Chains A and B, each alone.
Chain A
Amino acid sequence: MDKILEKKSLTNWLKKLTGYDVYAPVLKDDLWNYEIISDGDNLELDYLNTVQAPKKFIFPQVENLLDFGSSDEGTPEITETLPQPNPTVILGVRPCDGKAVILQDLVFGGEFTDPYYWNRRNATYLVGLTCNTPPSPNCFCTSVDGSPHSQEGLDILLTDLGTKYFVEALTDKGRKLVSAGQALFKAPTAKDKKDLEQVKTGSEKKIKRQIKNLKKVPPKLKDMFDSPLWDEEAMSCLRCGICTFLCPTCHCFDISDEVTSSLPLKGHRIRTWDTCQFPDFTMHSSGHNPRPDKASRLRQRMLHKFQYFVEIHKKYQCTGCGRCVSLCPVGIDIIEVLDKVRDYG
């Protein structure tokens, strides 16, 4: 379903979305982040990409899995705490981050579906925005089978056409949001459609960074487990979690029990983000660590995204958002590393 929404009507549309929590990118302390929008009056969808991907709405950093305790008689009691979130609209999702949600779905769906994830996922409406110009100098979506106007994972894709948005409602959820705005949406003219195509084609050409022949990388990685390349590339790594915690597709987690009272026993079992970049991620209880150094951990990040995930799901586990490149304190550049892998040997 294709529609046109005048920019000045955006606020009116959001006002009609009663019953939804609406989040949009807001600039605070020089950083773009999703904040809840109460009226949307000062909303301008002219933002660089948010520092944190919308993944945090669907796969939050801390998820309470269950509460535990013991009754007065001492019998253990366990209460499952499945989230029941309000319907939530995330406005202004970059196409790379929309696609990332599809990749997360593969992990939390499939053979073992994760109800905590899906309760949030099903309540989340993703309204994307085409990147007419790349929001980061390190964008490389076109190299990983994506595009600045990709529709994957989104319920609606908005494209800025100057004074109006071209609105493509892509799913039932998207169409539901559009119908809430009823008369605000007009049918597109032939010219609008032509403009849309032009903007979309133009947007791809503006992506500056690219990895040529990425398809050569996954087979190559298979033979590079013991390569000295990892030692060289990881020399400057600080072993922090920026690249993975801010990655829209990284999904590793840890489960721990947090006791709030010992008598009577009370506490929560929580799931928190974890990262392969922390030394304790693979620490065995014996004290042995199979990934003992930062080279093996950098290798893991590359192999998971560009070999294992490709083998299992036939997709790269990277959407080219560029966050890990731009935010790495020491300039470790996934594009450069993959270039070296491709040309190695």
Chain B
Amino acid sequence: MVNLDELKKEAKRVLEDGKVKYVIGYVKSKASNMAAPAFVTDPEEIENLIWDPTCVQNLTKFIVDEKKRKAQQKKPDTRPVAVVSKGCDSRAINVLLQEKYIERDDVFILGVACEDLGVIDEKKLAQKLKGKRFGELTFDDKKNVVATTTDGTVKVPVKEVLAERCVECQANTPLIYDVFLGEEDRRKPDAPFASVEKMESLSNKERGAFWQEQLSKCVRCYACRSTCPMCYCDECVVDTINFAVTPDTTAQEKALRIKWIERASTKSENFGYHLVRAIHLVGRCIDCGECERVCPLDIPIRFLNKKLEKTAKELFDYEPGMDTEKPALVASFKDEDPEEFIR
């Protein structure tokens, strides 16, 4: 088990030593049962940090944020930021390093092991509680989640309400870190692609109908893109005017800019958006599942990424973020790469 006091001690140490600018960790949220990201600069406030299965967010996103913020500052503080990182989140750091988006010195990684657990899926928990409203969530030492509901407390084993991404997790222990907390217990899931295999078993027609229905719900709030540590482009194909404009860009250039995907949240444009995003994540998505968790309309976006992850594994034996020594999937080729799909 990760010793929370140990985590706080390490976080406080790097902060007090002035080794890092701030610590990105998790705190309890007033608004939600899930944790909230926190940015701690005051060593006294390290006390508020938590570590439990409500720590859902992939904090690697905020390392991307920090890089963008620094780019705007005239004299940025170039010290690293410390970040609490789960196994999946550390894979995202690996991809950023591999793509040379960040340098190793930009980040001080407080790696935390999920061991035999992971993070909980609020919806699974809600179903277990059979519609009872739940207030506070705590965790006992027998790995139960204890929910306070209107009719007293209910205990559910955490394992029964784990997020699907954790059930299929391939990196429950951080792969890269400066400090490591918890037990190194690398479990391999029995069926890492079970969810997507279930989807594959459907006929083309059934899958078509499924996605038609799901993607027509999309309101294009772009939360999936916003939360994704891999979606760091300054210029995104779906944004009509979010391209790099300089004082030299002429009005004509702006007017002639092709709109690949229109603003209207119609089914065809929504398909365009989600498929473009999925394709851009091949060999990069590390399955933190945040895109799916944040979707307010519960579109199961993770299936798209999982399918491509599976394809990359089958065709090229490539697993994103697992080995930084390997070149990135889309930036390399080998003579023996299969090419049956190129026709």
Contact = CB atoms under 8 A, between A and B. Distances in A.
Interface of A: 29-31, 51-52, 61-62, 137-138, 235-236, 238-242, 245-246, 254, 256, 258, 270, 272-273, 275, 278-280, 283, 285-287, 292-293, 325-333, 335-336
Contacts of B294: 238, 240, 242, 329
Interface stretch (B137-145, B261-269, B315-323): B261-269
Contact of A326 (B32, B57, B133, B249): B32
B199 interface: no
B304 to A, nearest CB: 17
Contacts of A286: 245, 247
A283 B242 contact: yes
A270 B264 contact: yes
Contact of B296 (A51, A287, A292, A293): A51
B222 A240 contact: yes
A285 B31 contact: no
Contacts of A138: 31
Contacts of A258: 259, 262-264
B203 interface: no
B245 A283 contact: yes
Closest 3 A-B residue pairs measured CB to CB? A331-B36, A287-B245, A331-B29
Given A62-B266, A258-B259, A335-B30, 13 more contacts: A31-B297, A51-B297, A238-B226, A242-B294, A256-B240, A258-B263, A285-B251, A285-B254, A287-B246, A325-B32, A329-B294, A331-B29, A336-B31
B296 A330 contact: no
Contacts of A336: 30-31
A333 B31 contact: yes
Contact of B62 (A52, A61, A236): A236
A236 B37 contact: yes
B265 A62 contact: yes
Nearest to A63: B264
Contact of A61 (B34, B219, B240, B293): B219
Nearest to A138: B31
Nearest to B241: A280
Contact of A31 (B219, B226, B249, B298): B298
B218 to A, nearest CB: 10
Contact of B34 (A29, A283, A331): A331
Contacts of B31: 138, 325-326, 328, 331-333, 335-336
Which interface class (under 10, 10 to 19, 20 to 34, 35 or more) fits B? 35 or more
B183 interface: no
B296 A327 contact: yes
B39 A280 contact: no
B250 to A, nearest CB: 10
B263 A280 contact: no
Contacts of A256: 240, 262-263
B298 A240 contact: no
Contacts of B69: 293
A335 B31 CA distance: 9
B296 A242 contact: yes
A338 to B, nearest CB: 13
Contacts of B62: 235-236
Contacts of B265: 61-62, 272
22 contacts: A52-B219, A52-B297, A61-B219, A62-B264, A137-B133, A238-B61, A238-B223, A238-B294, A239-B226, A240-B221, A240-B294, A241-B223, A242-B221, A242-B223, A270-B264, A273-B219, A280-B240, A286-B247, A325-B32, A328-B31, A329-B223, A329-B227
B171 to A, nearest CB: 22
B204 interface: no
Given A287-B245, A336-B31, A137 B135 contact: yes
B253 to A, nearest CB: 11
Contacts of A239: 226
Interface string B270-308: 000000000000000000001001101110000000000
Given A30-B298, A287-B249, A238 B29 contact: no
Given A138-B31, A280-B242, A286-B247, A330 B36 contact: yes
A234 to B, nearest CB: 10
Nearest to A238: B226
Interface string B45-86: 000000000000100011000000100100000000000000
Contacts of A29: 298
A138 B57 CA distance: 20
B53 to A, nearest CB: 16
A280 B61 CA distance: 20
A319 B62 CA distance: 31
A287 B240 contact: no
Q: Which of A236, A258, A335 has the most CB of B within 10 A?
A: A236
A232 to B, nearest CB: 8
B9 interface: no
Nearest to B36: A331
A52 to B, nearest CB: 8
B219 A245 contact: yes
A132 to B, nearest CB: 13
B268 to A, nearest CB: 11
A330 B298 contact: no
Contacts of B135: 137
B103 interface: no
Contacts of B240: 256, 280
Given A31-B298, A286-B247, A287-B247, A279 B30 contact: no
B109 to A, nearest CB: 19
B239 interface: yes
B123 interface: yes
Contacts of B126: 30
Nearest to B131: A48
B201 interface: no
Q: Which of B126, B221, B245, B259 has the most CB of A within 10 A?
A: B221
Nearest to A328: B31
A53 to B, nearest CB: 12
B332 interface: no
A270 B240 CA distance: 14
Contacts of B227: 238, 240, 329
A326 B247 CA distance: 41
Nearest to A322: B31
